[in-house]
Structure 1
Amino acid sequence: MPISIFGFQALWSPYFLGAVVLITLFYFWVTTKWRGKFKDSEPLQKKEALLFVSGMALLYIIKGSPVDLLGHIMFTMHMVQMAFLLLLVPPLLIMGIPTWLWRWIIDLPVVRPLFLFFTKPMLALILFGLAFSFYHLPMVFDFVKQDIWLHTAMSTTLFIAAIFYWWPLVNKLEGMHKFHGLKKLGYLFALSVLMTPACALIIFSDSAFYQTYTDSAAWQQAMALCVPAGTLAQLTLSGPEMFSSMSLVEDQRTGGITMKILQELVFSVFIWLVFYEWLRNENENADEITAKVMQDRKDMAYHRHNG
């Protein structure tokens, strides 16, 4: 059965699209027209604008386009949403907002101490890993998916936790928590390890355990999060099997596998970028490093000779 039966609003979320467009326009207004009102502001770079627009476009695709509707029908698409929402959108937005604007945001009252606390690398890593695993516990997942306010609150919490996790990896502000060089690789690998148990539970389960995909009443309650009540009342639906050829167990397992694959792909890109940055810095500073090594050897020889 085609998902077009749910109507234009459910498919394309026009209100969410409007919000995304307004936020993007506000971003350009602040970073161009209002730039002079901020201390130490600099012209907006094309790279920053491209990263921010890419992040916002991707945010709309996964939370406002038919992908969001499919995420309520198929667990596989839900995990695709999670992968892009938590692993790609946050670093794109962090890198897309100029450092001078980030500095202004963080220096707001109350924000700075909270930001410095929650972006401590080990705390950010653990909180994000735990939040992701907690959300995907069947009891929690089914409870949250059947209430729009709980679902919004949980999605927002996960997204903020992802911002805190990515901050030490990609931010460029002085005085902020950040990793340099190959330490970034260990940080990325640590999250991969923390996310593995939840994904393994989903992949290797012998049964489909999310009621919002297996129980007709719970599923329709969850569908009300993205489909207008009037539209839903006019449809006679039994469950997600009407829209997918996969069994519920296959869908669940595919979702877990998809999440791990997308996570590894995203991390692989960032690992390559980290390694490339480290290699470039080593080459640029090769003469300085060589001179330091030679001086250290001379100092050691001098101390041995005069010792």
Structure 2
Amino acid sequence: MELRIFGFQALWSPYFLCLLMIVGFLYAQCTGRWRGRFAHSEQIKKSEAFYFYSALLLIYVIKGSPLDVLAHISFTMHMVQMAFLLLLVPIFIIKGIPAWLWQTFISNPLVQPIWRIVTQPIIALFSFVLLFSFYHIPVILDAIKLSEALHALYTVMLFSSAIAMYWTTVNSVPGERQLKGLHKTAMIISNAVLITPACALIIFADTPLYATYQSGEAWLQSMALCVPTTMLASLASAGITGPELFMSMSTLEDQQLGGIVMKIIQELIFGVLLYTVFRAWYKHEQRDADAITEAALAERKTMNDYY
């Protein structure tokens, strides 16, 4: 059965698109016409604009396009959605907002003390891992997907914890805590290791774990997060009460594939991030080595001239 039966509003989320366009407009104004209102503001870099607008585009594809409807039908697509939302978009957000705009936000008296705590590397790492792992406990995920308010709150908490987790690894804001090369590597590897048990639980389960991805009333209720209730009523009256009509896989196969896909995407993103960290670390060490060599040669020349 085709997805178009859910209607234009469910598939393309026009209101959500308008919200993202407003965010993009405010970003353009803050980094352009209103820039003079911020202390130490500078001309925005092309790379920063690219990262930020790419983040908005990704958010729309993940949460506003037909992918969001698919994520409520297929657990595999849900894991694809979560992987990109939590592991890639936060990097783009951190890199896309200029340092001076970050400083304005962080220096706020209400934000600063909380920010100092939540971006502590160990706190940030375990907060993200625990929130991610708890989210995929069957009873918790089902409860979240059956409540629009709870779903929105938990998604914001997860996304915020992902930004905090990446902060000391990715940010380049002067005066902010930034891990060194070896510590960045340890942070990335620790994250990969610590979220593995949650993926393993899903991959090696021998029965379907989530009621909201099986046939029945729970699935229809969970679809209310992205499909208007009037449309859901018409689907129920037409006898569509489960995701099996939209998939060729069984619920268990879909669940297991979701865990595998999540792990693969995570490894790819972390692999690229590790490569970037190693490359920057190597260049930094090379610059230091050259400086040490030049200083030693200059000292030797001074001694030769003296004697």
Q: Same fold (TM over 0.5)?
A: yes
Partners of 2:99 and 2:174 within 8 A in 1: no
- In 1: Cα distance, 2:105 partner to 2:232 partner: 41
Partners of 1:6 and 1:227 within 8 A in 2: yes
Are residues 130 and 294 of structure 1, via their aligned partners in 2, closer, same or farther at CA, if it must alter by over 3 Å?
Answer: farther
Partners of 2:215 and 2:243 within 8 A in 1: no
Alignment of 1:228-239 (within 5 A): 228-235=228-235, 236-239=239-242
CA shift, 1:292, in A, is 7.0
SS of the equivalent of 2:259 reads helix
- In 2: Cα distance, 1:208 partner to 1:19 partner: 36
**What's 1:200 paired with?**
200
The answer to whether 1:260 aligns with 2:270 is no
Deviation by residue 1:153-199 (Cα, 9 ceiling, x = unmatched):
11111000101001111111233222122321110000011100000
CA shift, 1:291, in A, is 5.7
The answer to whether 1:92 aligns with 2:87 is no
SS of the equivalent of 1:189 reads helix
Greater CA drift, 6-15 or 176-185: 176-185
- In 2: Cα distance, 1:98 partner to 1:131 partner: 28
**Letter aligned with residue 105 of structure 1:** F
- In 2: Cα distance, 1:68 partner to 1:272 partner: 31
CA shift, 1:208, in A, is 0.6
- In 1: Cα distance, 2:12 partner to 2:95 partner: 27
The answer to whether 1:35 aligns with 2:38 is no
Alignment of 1:201-220 (within 5 A): 201-220=201-220
CA shift, 1:110, in A, is 1.1
**What's 2:284 paired with?**
281
Partners of 1:188 and 1:267 within 8 A in 2: yes
The answer to whether 1:147 aligns with 2:147 is yes
Aligned residues: 296
Greater CA drift, 173-182 or 81-90: 173-182
Partners of 1:116 and 1:177 within 8 A in 2: no
**What's 1:62 paired with?**
62
**What's 1:242 paired with?**
245
Deviation by residue 1:57-111 (Cα, 9 ceiling, x = unmatched):
0011000000100000000000001100000000101110000000001111210
**Letter aligned with residue 63 of structure 1:** K
Greater CA drift, 280-289 or 270-279: 280-289
- In 2: Cα distance, 1:231 partner to 1:259 partner: 31
Aligned alpha-carbon RMSD (Å): 1.5
- In 1: Cα distance, 2:296 partner to 2:64 partner: 56
**Letter aligned with residue 129 of structure 1:** V
SS of the equivalent of 2:195 reads helix
Partners of 1:216 and 1:239 within 8 A in 2: yes
SS of the equivalent of 2:32 reads helix
Greater CA drift, 284-293 or 102-111: 284-293
| Paired-residue identity, % | 50
CA shift, 1:293, in A, is 8.1
CA shift, 1:294, in A, is 8.9
- In 1: Cα distance, 2:35 partner to 2:195 partner: 40
Q: Which runs of 5+ in 1 are unaligned?
A: 296-307
The answer to whether 1:191 aligns with 2:191 is yes
TM-score, structure 1 normalization:
0.94
- In 2: Cα distance, 1:20 partner to 1:64 partner: 10
The answer to whether 1:75 aligns with 2:78 is no
Deviation by residue 1:203-252 (Cα, 9 ceiling, x = unmatched):
00001110001141000000011000111111131311110001000000
